[in-house]
């Protein structure tokens, strides 16, 4: 489900503003209530002191003009027998003497804030409705909130515009990518981009570079494959012509054998092209726990008859259990192609040895043959697709075996090295696998 970053940020910031505004209003209300309480408490103390002075001047309580002017307050005079002598608002305020000092009488809207003081034989009380204090605090908070509420829509519009301005580089990058044709894989300029967008564009540029390399590689592969396929197809056509024009049984037999070898080479080439395509990095399979010894033994059995038909001494030495993490298809392609190369280029009465073991705790496969070997100066080139070393051996080679082996090794995280065989003769291929650090659940034994 897609969403708009601009909308999400705008609503998030507006929600933050509203939350902060609400918190500020509550804080304003509480502070106003505290200040009002402090102010009115002070005023009640002053009124009590003034009333005390007034009573001292008029001890008979016949004249109490101060008791009648404070309409928000109720002033009372009690004697110590708990009898109300005078009240500025009869019927309102506390109905008994409260403890000395400040105290609260009643609840909620009917509550009173009182201040009680002694004046000789009399008790003076000043009371104020709690509802009045709450109403005044609310009025102050609401008046403080009105400007904030007015700012919210204006702030929302400003936030919307500012976020749009901040996201402009993303729109610029999007337009640049959209305006390109599929063949344009040049990197995107990053000098004028903000630091937050640069990592994204850098990653995109890296992807474009990888795509360009992959496309170049695939174009080269298609061109090479076309050339390599064209040659055997032409040869097959010529061999068919020779078969049709053969006048003797010997000529027909020879042409038939040539045609069969051409078909075999064509089939092998097609098979290896498909194998190479299957080993594309994007087609990775789920890795499992693999036993190298089991896989190598199976491949040994597959090639034993082929080696025997060429009078090759085909041997295997595999430890009971050497485990690696990887996918079976890649491991099989890797070992099969190296073993096939060894048997294909080893002359009659030669030897090919498959070894599975560990080297300093590193799982390792070695395939050693007594063939002509590969000169040091072209060992890197033999991993290129369709490159064939000038070796005195089977003419049905395709130049894809070691290219497939290297790609399979890369998928497995293994390293594939070409070295001289024993006593500098032949070729020794060593394949080192990463040691297992975290075994997987599924296992191929």
Domain with CATH 3.30.450.20 in the chain: 5-152
Classify 283-444 by CATH class. alpha beta
Residue with tokens 């999007």: 174
Q: What is the pLDDT of residues 108-144, one digit of tens each?
A: 667 888 999 988 888 888 888 888 888 887 888 788 7
Average pLDDT along the chain: 79
Name the pTM for this structure. Answer: 0.51
Distances (CA, A) of 377 to 308, 381, 392, 429: 32, 8, 18, 16
Report pLDDT digits (tens) over 24-38: 878 877 888 888 888
| CATH code 3.30.565.10 region(s) in the chain | 283-444
Q: Exposed, middle or buried: residue 403 (CB in 10 Å: 0-12, 13-18, 19+)? A: buried
Report pLDDT digits (tens) over 307-345. 888 899 999 998 788 889 888 888 888 898 899 888 888
Residue 136 CB contacts under 8 Å (≥ 6 apart), including other chains: 32, 36
CATH architecture entry for 198-273: Orthogonal Bundle (1.10)
User: How big is the CA angle at 42 (ends 84 and 96), to the nearest 5 degrees?
Assistant: 20
Whether the pLDDT of residue 240 is over 70: the answer is: yes
CA dihedral 106, 111, 115, 121 (to 10 degrees): -50
Sequence-distant (≥ 6) Cβ neighbours of residue 192 within 8 angstroms: 169
- Provide CATH code, domain 5-152: 3.30.450.20
**pLDDT tens digits, 404-417:** 888 888 888 899 99
Q: How confident is the model at residue 230 (pLDDT cuts 50, 70, 90)?
A: low
């Amino acid at each position: 489900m897609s969403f708009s970053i601009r909308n999400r940020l705008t609503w998030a910031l507006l929600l933050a503003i509203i939350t902060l505004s609400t918190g500020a209003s509550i804080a304003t209300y509480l502070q106003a209530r505290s200040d009002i309480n402090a102010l009115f408490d002070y005023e009640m103390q002053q009124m009590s002191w003034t009333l005390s002075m007034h009573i001292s001047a008029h001890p008979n309580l016949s004249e109490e003009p101060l008791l009648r002017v404070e309409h928000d307050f109720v002033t009372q005079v009690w004697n110590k027998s708990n009898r109300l002598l005078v009240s500025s608002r009869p019927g309102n305020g506390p109905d008994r003497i409260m403890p000395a000092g400040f105290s609260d009488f009643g609840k909620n809207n009917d509550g009173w804030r009182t201040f009680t003081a002694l004046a000789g034989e009399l008790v003076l009380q000043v009371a104020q409705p709690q509802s009045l204090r709450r109403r005044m605090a609310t009025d102050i908070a609401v008046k403080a909130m009105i400007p904030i509420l007015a700012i919210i829509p204006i702030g929302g519009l400003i936030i919307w515009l500012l976020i749009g301005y901040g996201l402009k580089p993303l729109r610029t990058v999007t337009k640049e990518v959209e305006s390109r044709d599929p063949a344009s894989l040049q990197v995107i300029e990053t000098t004028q981009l903000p630091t937050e967008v640069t990592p994204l564009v850098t990653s995109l540029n890296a992807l474009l570079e990888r795509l360009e390399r992959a496309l170049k590689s695939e174009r080269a592969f298609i061109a090479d494959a076309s050339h390599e396929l064209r040659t055997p197809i032409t040869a097959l056509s010529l061999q068919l012509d020779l078969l049709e024009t053969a006048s003797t049984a010997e000529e027909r037999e020879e042409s038939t054998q040539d045609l069969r070898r051409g078909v075999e080479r064509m089939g092998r080439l097609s098979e290896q092209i498909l194998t190479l395509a299957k080993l594309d990095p994007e087609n990775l399979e789920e890795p499992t726990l693999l036993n190298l010894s089991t896989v190598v033994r199976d491949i040994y059995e597959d090639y034993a008859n082929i080696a025997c038909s060429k009078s090759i001494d085909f041997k295997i030495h595999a430890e009971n259990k050497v485990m690696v993490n990887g996918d079976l298809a890649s491991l099989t392609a890797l070992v099969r192609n190296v073993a096939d190369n060894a048997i294909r280029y080893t002359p009659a009465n030669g030897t090919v040895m498959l070894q599975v073991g560990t080297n300093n705790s590193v799982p390792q496969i070695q395939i050693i043959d007594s063939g002509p070997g590969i000169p040091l100066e072209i060992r890197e080139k033999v991993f290129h697709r369709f490159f064939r070393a000038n070796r005195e051996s089977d003419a049905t080679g395709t130049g894809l075996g070691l290219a497939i082996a290297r790609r399979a090794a890369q998928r497995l995280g293994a390293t594939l090295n070409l070295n001289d065989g024993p006593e500098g003769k032949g070729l020794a291929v060593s394949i080192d696998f990463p040691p297992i650090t975290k075994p997987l659940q599924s296992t191929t034994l």
